Structure 1
Amino acid sequence: MADNTAINIENIYKKYNALLEGHFLLSSGNHTKFYLQSAKVLEYPQIAQKLALSLAALIKEHSIEVECVCSPALGGILAGYELARALGVRFIFTERVNSEMMLRRGFQVTKGEKVLICEDIITTGGSALESAQCVAQQEAKIVAFAGLANRGFCKAILPNNQKGNEGSKIQAQSPICKLPLSLPLFALANFSFDIYPADSCPLCKDSIAYKPGSRN
């Protein structure tokens, strides 16, 4: 089992220049001053493996039975694949076709199959929820959500070494979070960054928002 006390997500993202500061447009349409570019971290397989093992250990500690990991493309694929490998289960992904999230490439789930939805970063959880709806249409059972990090809007279960961690009671669910409260969300850390609606963003008076993610 991985040693969660050895993981400091903020330091890792800073080390690999993956904690960006500027004026960013998120997939949700909101704006923010800070952005977590997970691709800069996950381009190193040994780091991706270390993070996935820690996330898998957290999930196992809470006795969540997983038979398959599913991620939304493109951002969640590397994190989801490594998490599936750490859990010893198969991996599939959903992708957008004409703005609609779909299962393609022959991917299927079976009725009652226990599926965990994994993202790299959970903000509102919108893409993760869309992936969950895709597999739920094939009557799979969604057992949990997971991300390497959580931006603090969704209620998350963190490793015990995280400051202020109180298990599933770590925080109240923000109204902008789209994930259901009935299912657990696991993450290795919370990042509390302000986000702003596009029509009232204070950053817009000085610059134009840039979209650095995979859905440009």
Structure 2
Amino acid sequence: MQEDEILSEFRASQALLEGHFLLSSGRHSAHYLQCARVLMDPMRASRLAAALAVKIPREIRSQIAKVVAPAMGGVIIGHEMGRALGVEAMFVERPTGTFELRRGFSLNPGDKVLMVEDVVTTGLSSREAIVAIEAAGGEVIAAASLIDRSGGSVDLGVPFFPLVALNFPTYAPDELPPELAATPAIKPGSRAAA
């Protein structure tokens, strides 16, 4: 899939929103990608995961034993990546504020893991998920996401493969342009802002 085809999938599912948004990173933006909307169509989710799997070099893809995604946003794309790669998929969640495997999920010592997210902005959730995966015995050999909003600046400590990089500007609360400052921010995501 080409970038314009990917963005077309987001627009068709009304997943590319415009307004004033407070991101889970604590930063503000005039654009928000509601990946849950683009992934609610199972066929679309499957197409996007297959396109993302192709972005991962064959030598890494062939080593992946498990896919692990952070809940909530990564659950669907993580599952679809497991399907695309032919491996088990599971997720980490934060029952007490720190990511951990639950629900009977476990990793074998040394399992080679792909960590998958829906959107990466600062990389905080991704890095926290990687710590949890490694604490559970897995070895994260790569990370992937549908969208990289970091402007190419994120460092997850492992090779990172986004399906598409979108460089919508984000702003600290004290840097808001007048048009954003004039409207209240909406918090559409699943996690409280940092």
**TM-score using structure 2 length:** 0.90
Match of 2:28 in 1: 31
Write the distance in 2 (CA, Å) between the matches of 1:136 and 1:21.
37
Residue 57 of structure 1: aligned partner: 54
Question: Greater CA deviation, 185-194 or 196-205?
Answer: 196-205
Give the whole-Å Cα distance in 1 for the aligned partners of 2:102 and 2:180. 38
1:95 aligned to 2:70?
A: no
Instruction: Name the aligned partner's letter for residue 37 of structure 1.
Output: Q
Give the equivalent residue in structure 1 for 2:167.
192
Q: Using the alignment, how far apart are the partners of 1:100 and 1:178 within structure 2? A: 20
- Shift of residue 61 of structure 1? 3.5
* Structure 1 outlier segments of 4+, above 3 Å: 4-7, 60-64
**1:212 aligned residue:** 188
Could you say what secondary structure the match of 1:189 adopts?
strand
Contact 1:124 1:179 in 2 (8 A): no
1:8 partner SS: helix
Q: 1:214 to 1:190 in 2, by over 3 A?
A: same
- Whether 1:179 aligns to 2:156 is yes
**What's the TM-score, normalizing by structure 1?**
0.82
Aligned AA for 2:16? L
Instruction: Note the C-alpha offset of 1:153.
Output: 2.9
Q: Paired residues, what number?
A: 190
Which has the larger displacement, 96-105 or 12-21?
96-105
> Which stretch of the first structure deviates more once superposed, 60-69 or 131-140?
60-69
In structure 2, relative to structure 1, the CA distance for the partners of 1:62 and 1:192 (3 Å cut) is: farther
Cα 1:62–1:186 change in 2 (3 A) is farther
1:140-162 deviation line (CA, Å, top 9, x unaligned): 111000011211434xxxxxxxx
Gapped regions of structure 1 (runs ≥ 5): 155-173
**What corresponds to 1:165 in structure 2?**
none
**Matches of 1:67 and 1:7 in 2, distance apart?**
31
Please, which runs of 5 or more residues in structure 2 have no aligned partner? none
Q: Which letter maps to 1:215?
A: R
Which residues of 2 match residues 64-213 of structure 1 at below 5 A? 64=61, 65-154=63-152, 174=153, 177-180=154-157, 183-202=158-177, 203-213=179-189
Asked if 2 retains the 8 angstrom alpha-carbon contact of 1:126 and 1:178, the reply is no
Higher helix content, 1 or 2: 2
Relative to 1, partners in 2 of residues 1:5 and 1:19: Cα closer, same or farther, differing over 3 Å?
Answer: closer
Separation (CA, whole Å) in 2 of partners of 1:27 and 1:62: 33
Could you tell me how far apart the structure 1 residues matched to 2:73 and 2:89 are? 14
> For the Cα contact (< 8 Å) 2:27–2:171, is it kept in 1?
yes
Identify the residue that residue 157 of structure 1 maps to in structure 2: none
CA-atom RMSD in angstroms: 1.8
Q: Contact 2:21–2:28 (CA<8 Å) still a contact in 1?
A: yes
Q: Distance in 2 between matches of 1:47 and 1:20?
A: 18
**% identical equivalent positions:** 41
* Partner-residue secondary structure (3-state), 1:110: coil
8 A contact 2:151–2:165 mirrored in 1: no
